[in-house]
A and B are shown apart, each in its own frame.
Chain A
Amino acid sequence: MMHNPIADRAKTAQFTGVLETTRPLLFDSTFLSKLEQLYLLSKKLFRGAHRAERRSRQIGSSLEFADYRNYTAGDDLRSIDWNIYGRLDRLFIKLFEQEQDLDISFLIDASGSMRWTPEIREPFDQPRLPKFDQARRIAASLAYIGLANLDRVNIHYFASRLEEDMGFCRGKSQFHKVLDFLREAPELEGETRLLPSLRTFAQRMKRRGLVFLLSDFFDPQGVEEGLAMLRYHQFEVHLIQILDPAEIRPGAAGDLRLIESETGTAFEITANDSLLNRYHAEIDAFLARLATFSLENGISYAQASTGVSFEDLVLRVLRDGRMIQ
């Protein structure tokens, strides 16, 4: 696809003013230019709604050859392959692939655990975004990539259930809408319940497409069943697990009363080296299980730590996770 650099620069400049005043989804023009070079990967071919730049299962009028079929009355004579007619003395019609758009859905976990920030920081820690802000920034970035490639982008929030979505939008001009929706995220209550949320999502979506699931996946009921259900409904799933370093390696010590951010449940512990070691082993096993499940089920998986710089995360981590190229 050919780009018009002058037009692109104009569009970028048009967004920059808005984006740079939109906290916390702050992007600069250089970063957006880099995003425009990227492309959201889909291993499957989906049926699209509009002509666009992405290959689809439909036969259309692109330059990509798809197949031959016998000529029937009423076919466009311009589609007849005259070379074959010369050799075989039979009429065949050349079929071409249709390039369509792709439905891309972002499911953002808006539960209390995503809004949690660590109370105790190491003395020389850089200030970090809450996980929810990190999720929204990643979603905004990926949505921009999708919009730039004329895909249809939709955003959902969920916690214990799926909330109302933004509605599909298409084209860079709709990026304002994306940003507004992300900025005005609702404050949801309750625990993370992935299965009912994903079941609602699958029922609500008429067309299949890419699903980016941004969450910490701290679902006591487990995430495997929900993800399997999405796979069953032919969605291509990308998991982006957002974690704070303090969750992976907590520095807690002493007699503590731990209060869960989602439910307010209190739990008393006496943190010592032994207990912390067991905690580390437990969370490492949890992360390993999720990664293994993703690998076994053809789900892309990336871990996005709030301790990693955002630009590095989008341009390197997600690319390594085979989510963009």
Chain B
Amino acid sequence: MTFLNLWAAGFVALAPVIVLLYLLKLKRRSQTVSTLMFWQRVLQESRRRAFFQKLRQFLSLLLHLLIFALILGALMRPVFDRFVRKGGSTVLILDTRARMQAAESDETPRFARARAQAAGLIRQTSGARQMALISANATPVVVTPFTDDEKALRQGLDSLAPTDAGGDIEPSIELAEYLLASRKGERRIVVLTDHAPGDAGRKRPLPVTYVACGRASDNVAITRFATRPLLNSPETSEVLLEMANFGRKPAKGNVEISFDGKLLDVKPYLLGAGERRLEIFPTVPRPSAHARGWLSARLDAPDALPVDNIAYAVLSAQPPSRVLLVTKGNWFLEKLLAADQGVSSELVEPDAFNPALASKFDAVILDQFLPPGFDLASAQQNFLFIKATPFGDGQTPLDQPLISDTDAQHPVMRLVNLQNITMLRAASLALPKLAGWNWQAPIRSFDHPMMITGERLGAGASRRVAALAIDITDSDLPLRVAFPLLMSNTIHWLAGEQTAEIAGALAGATIPLEANESISTEPEFPGTPSSNEKPKAVRSGFFQPLRNGFYRINRPDGAHWLAVNTFDAAESDLRAPDSPPDESPHPSLLPLANLASWPIWQYLAIAAFALFAGEWWLFHRRRTE
């Protein structure tokens, strides 16, 4: 036993004062009575019990001295030798992953339990026993470096909250080992979590103790939520939703799909134990240019972990592609471009065409027109050449060619069926030898490409080129379903829709920001009024969203939304490995009582208070004098 405040021993000098005060005669209240006859007779019996009377006085003095000794002991702050012999360093790792938000049977979140247990451990801090605090979620963070300041550790602990991010404990343990590497004396890592990793029992350079903060429970989660535009109807999107039941019993309820906070669809679900299910919502309209495009899914059946019962996705409002049609007149193309809502087109005569005009459009269609002196290598726009192309091999045109091969995997060939197409004639093309380009022929007539696509690879502005060997009016293609599909695919491919922006991310993932980009640090949710205050934003570098919701990304071309979700089966699965619910947690998790005991001085103070109360009670019951 070692006393941290040895100076308090000086108060022992006060003990004789207590004895002296005790020996002082009690000042009694005088009261005149008619006779003492009866009092004397009564107390004659008491005199016979003088021994017990003296014992009562002795007991009173003993209690007073004992209370004094306990207070003195508390002031001296005793600690066990094994804690201070060599000094000690402890790293507390507090699990702040999404699963720590799970509520226990008494509605207490696991994180609250873990924090209470950590607070108990922090009370053991002393000059010879320093502690550090690490928050473990997607990435480990040192919340409080090594200190013996209990207040600083408590403040660090109070600043922590469970995130919506998943992650692994292992990096946090490695960070703790790194922090402890240069420390001397007893070193210890304490992990407060509800779920020890599978390899918790393996030998580590420093002892790691896992403190249990929760019990296994059932949970139903949304594990995937994504949207994409329908290929055959770009105005609408389809929504993919995956649900999983991480429980022993079947779960049922309703899943609600909301669009911009308004209920869009409700679908009941019944999931067997451990079952995963995909749900497709096929016809969700794409948002207008002014809508935020917030799509959210919610499971209405409450369970242990609410954070994975809600998922967010963004239906991006794609701006129409700007297309310039250079033709002397092509009724089919003009009508097709006018009908496609994803295209904003303009028409010019070949005589009015100049490269400066073309630079304002995402794609330029040159119908039977090739500008004089056209150089593919130096051109900066995306072109679709029809019949007049820079890829001619100088041979005679093909007469009534047959389509022999199509590349169904190519983006321009999505859903396009070119069987039984009749063509009068076609230009003879050859794949160019231009370096740095990826040339393909998605439509071929034996050795002759009927369509050529090229994409410039590498850094710099991306460029795409497509060439069609036929004059569409020399075939029955415009009368087939394949025509609008082929042209629409080609135009949108040229305009660059293939590289659609990422509208979703996992909580805890690192999002790189360009120099001219910024992202709000706090998420927004459907149903919450947007604040007039400008939200705090990260302007460059990296951003790690730790809460689910919609984050606003400001780019030069306008504001975009980023949907952040947990989507981590490891977080949603609250069943302890190899142990059914309602049984003991992972065997490597230790009960709290082994570690989070209060310091000795607090026990002494409580004992002193209890004795004081007892002595007070005895005095008023005249058991002591």
Instruction: Report if A252-B35 is in contact (Cβ < 8 Å); known contacts: A270-B622, A270-B625, A272-B621.
Output: no
Question: Which of B41-49, B106-114, B244-252, B376-384 lies at the interface?
Answer: B41-49
Contact, CB under 8 Å: A257 / B36: no
Chain B CB within 10 Å, residue with most, of A260, A261, A274: A260
Instruction: Report if A265-B42 is in contact (Cβ < 8 Å); known contacts: A120-B31, A259-B30, A272-B622.
Output: no
Instruction: Report if A220-B37 is in contact (Cβ < 8 Å); known contacts: A254-B29, A282-B42.
Output: yes
CA distance A254 to B621 in the complex (A): 10
Measured between beta carbons, the chain A residues less than 8 angstroms from B51 are none
Any B CB within 8 A of the CB of A113? yes
CA distance A221 to B43 in the complex (A): 18
CA distance A14 to B36 in the complex (A): 45
Query: Which of B31, B35, B41 is within 8 Å of A262, CB to CB?
Result: B35
Measured between beta carbons, the chain B residues less than 8 angstroms from A274 are 622
Query: Which of A244, A254, A261, A267 is within 8 Å of B39, CB to CB?
Result: A267
Q: Which of B13-72 contact A (CB under 8 A)?
A: 26-43, 45-46
Contact, CB under 8 Å: A286 / B38: yes
| Distance between B439 CB and nearest chain A CB, rounded to angstroms | 111
Q: Which of A234-289 contact B (CB under 8 A)?
A: 244, 247, 250, 252, 254-262, 265-270, 272, 274-275, 278-279, 282-283, 286
Contact, CB under 8 Å: B29 / A256: yes
Query: In this complex, what residue of B is CB-closest to A263?
Result: B36
Measured between beta carbons, the chain A residues less than 8 angstroms from B26 are 255
Contact, CB under 8 Å: B32 / A252: no
**Interface size bracket, A side:** 35 or more
Any B CB within 8 A of the CB of A119? yes
Contact, CB under 8 Å: B38 / A282: yes
Query: In this complex, what residue of B is CB-closest to A252?
Result: B31
Contact, CB under 8 Å: A279 / B33: no
**Interface size bracket, B side:** 20 to 34
Measured between beta carbons, the chain B residues less than 8 angstroms from A101 are none
Q: Which of A269-321 contact B (CB under 8 A)?
A: 269-270, 272, 274-275, 278-279, 282-283, 286
Contact, CB under 8 Å: A283 / B38: yes
Query: Which of A119, A220, A255 is within 8 Å of B28, CB to CB?
Result: A255
Instruction: Report if A259-B34 is in contact (Cβ < 8 Å); known contacts: A270-B622, A274-B622, A282-B42.
Output: no
Any B CB within 8 A of the CB of A216? yes
Question: What is the interface of chain B mostly: helix, strand, loop, or mixed?
Answer: mixed
Count of CB-CB pairs between chains A and B under 8 Å: 83
CA distance A279 to B28 in the complex (A): 19
Query: Which of A244, A257, A272, A275 is within 8 Å of B31, CB to CB?
Result: A257
Contact, CB under 8 Å: B43 / A269: yes
Measured between beta carbons, the chain A residues less than 8 angstroms from B622 are 270, 272, 274
| Distance between B222 CB and nearest chain A CB, rounded to angstroms | 70
CA distance A272 to B53 in the complex (A): 14
| Distance between B31 CB and nearest chain A CB, rounded to angstroms | 5
Any B CB within 8 A of the CB of A15? no
Any B CB within 8 A of the CB of A82? no
Measured between beta carbons, the chain A residues less than 8 angstroms from B625 are 270
CA distance A258 to B38 in the complex (A): 12
Instruction: Report if A116-B34 is in contact (Cβ < 8 Å); known contacts: A255-B28, A272-B621, A274-B622.
Output: yes
Contact, CB under 8 Å: A119 / B32: yes
| Distance between B259 CB and nearest chain A CB, rounded to angstroms | 77
CA distance A218 to B37 in the complex (A): 7
Measured between beta carbons, the chain B residues less than 8 angstroms from A268 are 28
Measured between beta carbons, the chain B residues less than 8 angstroms from A270 are 622, 625
Contact, CB under 8 Å: B33 / A257: no
Measured between beta carbons, the chain B residues less than 8 angstroms from A216 are 34-35
Measured between beta carbons, the chain A residues less than 8 angstroms from B41 are 282
Chain B CB within 10 Å, residue with most, of A112, A120, A220, A269: A269
Contact, CB under 8 Å: A278 / B34: no
Measured between beta carbons, the chain A residues less than 8 angstroms from B27 are 255
Q: Which 6 A-B pairs have the closest CB atoms?
A: A272-B622, A113-B34, A116-B34, A218-B35, A257-B28, A255-B28
A selection of 21 A-B contacts at a CB cut-off of 8 Å is A114-B34, A120-B31, A218-B34, A218-B37, A220-B37, A244-B34, A256-B28, A256-B29, A256-B30, A257-B28, A257-B31, A258-B32, A258-B33, A259-B33, A260-B32, A260-B36, A267-B43, A275-B43, A279-B38, A279-B42, A282-B42
Interface residues of B (CB under 8 A from A): 26-43, 45-46, 621-622, 625
